[in-house]
Chains A and B, each alone.
Chain A
């Protein structure tokens, strides 16, 4: 089975632009979470979706938004990009709502560079 996939792998944008990142969870997984990892730091939680509903939101500005589709894939949108948005964006999927009973599986990430 394929693991979590993310696209694109790398992206370069300029300040003020908009970006859309995509994630496909492992087949059968209904929960998708997004994390931002700035160089040298651990990932920071952005959003979690389960069955197309937002279940959790981290401490990120409203420029960040996300959604989950009927096939459980997900998009992360960031508007009005800032230099500080440059990071590795990670998507994780799990079978159940909270991942309490099992591992969360991470994708390879999308590397975003804002110039």
Chain B
């Protein structure tokens, strides 16, 4: 069974500081890993998808790395802004006959102005 853990559960930083969010998973046989953003009471917005053959993906101020062998991914958000305040979730997809995304519980980020 795939278990996904996100540490820390919550994070509060002043505006402008870089954010580092961690995700670990127990089964390294994944197909891809996605990072999502969720605003309170809302659905999920996909931020980045990393295929298992990739080491990292970048989009604007966001950079996600993947170390499949150690079962870890890290999401970096540069120069944080108050608008980055949200819950960030990582999810992994296993290959072959396993169609579900397995999610972590998320890291709730507060960026203080």
Binding site for B on A (CB under 8 A): 4, 6, 33, 35, 40-45, 48, 55-56, 58, 88, 90, 92, 97-100, 102-109, 111
Contact A100 B49 (CB under 8 A): no
Contact of B105 among A40, A55, A88, A108 (CB under 8 A): A40
Binding site for A on B (CB under 8 A): 4, 31-32, 34, 36, 41-46, 49, 89, 91, 93, 95, 98-106
With known contacts A42-B106, A100-B93, A100-B95, A106–B43 Cβ distance under 8 A = yes
Q: Which residue of B lies closest to A4 (CB)?
A: B43
Contact A56 B99 (CB under 8 A): yes
Contact A58 B100 (CB under 8 A): yes
A48-B105 Cα distance, complex, nearest whole Å? 21
With known contacts A98-B93, A100-B32, A41–B99 Cβ distance under 8 A = no
* CB neighbours of A4 from chain B (8 A): 43
* CB neighbours of B32 from chain A (8 A): 100
Query: Which 7 A-B residue pairs are closest in the complex by CB-CB distance?
Result: A42-B103, A45-B100, A56-B99, A106-B44, A108-B43, A48-B99, A103-B46
